[in-house]
Structure 1
Amino acid sequence: MKYVILIHSNPQPWGHPTGDYVPEQQSRSQAEREAGNAAFEAMLTELSESGELQGGQALGDPATARLYRWEGGRSVATDGPYAEAKEHLAGFFLIDVASQERAEEVVAAFSGPGETIELRPIWEG
């Protein structure tokens, strides 16, 4: 079963890894942050070695995004990513796992205090 793990973050201030810029993470002790980072890296290593990690990418600064909408019979470009959003899509990982339970186990390692992580199945019509 394929899933995408979507990493949502506040774009101000901008940077990767996104957790370094979330107040809830910044308020944790250095030891807690290092333990969280180590757990995340361990999960990435496990996913890579098992073949479950299909890909992933951090996305660039949302201030450089362009949004395309259909207006008045034509495509109109505006600065993005969204007109009224406080969060933006910061990056994603694509995984291929045996079950939804495994996907939920994986995504738990991707989330931390103050972060929003979305798990969404890939539609394979």
Structure 2
Amino acid sequence: MKYLILMHIDPAVLESLTEEQQQQIGEGHGQFMATTKENGEFISTQALGDPSTSKVVRSNGGGPEVTDGPFVEAKEFMGGFYLLDVEDEARIVELAKLIPDASIPGLAVEIRPVVFSDLGDG
């Protein structure tokens, strides 16, 4: 079963981390990717740009309108994701706990099952 692990970022928390803590996060993500690749569970991962660079397209009543910034005002934003294919929910929870962000107060990971997928394979 495919699951998406969303990484929620609070910029203030990231700014308060020491250089050592930042290095531990990077190394932890490297280990997470290595483990899930080795187990055949890894599909992909993407890190996303800061929300200040985003655009939102939504209806203004007469058609689509483009605005700057995130959809909602919030201190947290989605910083990236992992797409994994695992045996069951218990396994994805086990893996999510390995992501270093899950151990840092103010950061979080969210697990959501994939209910539809089209990878564009032809």
Q: Which moved more, 1:90-99 or 1:74-83?
A: 74-83
Matched with 1:76 is 65
Letter in 1 for 2:103: G
Query: What is the RMSD computed on CA atoms of the aligned residues?
Result: 2.5
Query: Is the contact made by 1:69 and 1:75 (CA closer than 8 Å) also made in structure 2?
Result: yes
Give the Å deviation of 1:121. 0.4
2:5 matched residue in structure 1: 5
Q: How far is the alpha carbon of 1:62 from its aligned partner?
A: 1.2
Q: Which of residues 91, 94, 100 is equivalent to 1:102?
A: 91
* Offset, 1:83: 3.6
Q: Does 1:49 align with 2:49?
A: no
Shift of 1:79: 0.8
Q: How many residues align?
A: 114
The sequence identity of aligned pairs, in percent, is: 34
Measure how far apart 1:38 and its partner are.
4.1
What corresponds to 1:121 in structure 2? 113
Q: Which amino acid aligns with 2:89?
A: Q
Whether 1:64 and 2:64 are equivalent positions in the alignment is no
Note if 1:112 corresponds to 2:76. Answer: no
TM-score, with structure 2 as normaliser: 0.79
State how far apart, in whole Å, the 2-side matches of 1:77 and 1:11 are: 25
Counterpart contact for 1:22–1:115, Cα < 8 Å: no
- Alignment TM-score, normalising by the size of structure 1: 0.77
Unpaired segments ≥5 residues, structure 1: 13-18
Q: Distance in 2 between matches of 1:89 and 1:40?
A: 16
- Corresponding residue SS for 1:117: strand
Provide the secondary structure at the position in 1 that maps to 2:66.
strand
Q: Where does structure 2 lack aligned partners over 5 or more consecutive residues?
A: 118-122
